[in-house]
């Protein structure tokens, strides 16, 4: 399996761009496999195999692997058995949070993802 260069792990995707990318993935009517769909949407958005397209795909894959982590449970409300609700701030944070390697897979440093999510949240209440 190919090792992912550290330079690809360091690439960031603007939080608004990450939200728009994920929105495009969610609204794409294609029946294609998820990885093919993610690649196609990224290529259409940023150009075939551009660094930003690769970064968005890596980050999308890492976010999907992170969602089952129990530390994210408070943020990711569970609906029906086949539905997970992920706040926009977490999707935006996926564009900028630190990535790490675990074996041959890219994953998020969960505390860094949570910190980035908190930084991107709208302030709420009267503190």
Which structural domain range is residue 32 located in? Answer: 6-119
Q: Name 40's Cβ contacts closer than 8 Å, sequence gap at least 6.
A: 28, 30, 32
CA atoms of 73 and 106, how far apart (whole Å): 20
Domain count, the chain: 1
Contact yes or no for 90/75 (Cβ under 8 A)? yes
- pLDDT tens for 44-55 read 889 888 999 999
- The answer as to whether 127 is a domain residue is no
Q: Is residue 40 a part of any domain in this protein? A: yes
- How far apart (Å, rounded) are the C-alpha atoms in residues 106 and 75? 21
Burial of 91 (0-12, 13-18, 19+ CB in 10 A): buried
Tell me the per-residue pLDDT of 53-84, one tens digit each, with 9 for 90 and over. 999 999 999 999 998 888 888 777 666 556 66
């Amino acid at each position: 399996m190919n090792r992912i260069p550290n330079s690809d792990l360091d690439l960031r995707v603007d939080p608004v761009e990450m939200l728009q990318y994920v929105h495009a993935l969610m609204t794409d009517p294609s029946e294609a496999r998820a990885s093919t769909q993610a690649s196609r949407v990224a290529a259409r958005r940023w150009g075939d195999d551009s660094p930003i397209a690769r970064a968005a795909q890596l980050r999308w894959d890492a976010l999907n692997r992170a969602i089952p982590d129990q530390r994210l449970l408070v943020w990711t409300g569970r609906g029906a058995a086949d539905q997970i609700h992920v706040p926009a701030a977490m999707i935006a944070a996926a564009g900028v949070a630190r990535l790490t390697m675990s074996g041959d897979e890219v994953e998020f440093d969960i505390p860094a993802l949570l910190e980035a999510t908190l930084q991107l949240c709208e302030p709420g209440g009267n503190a």
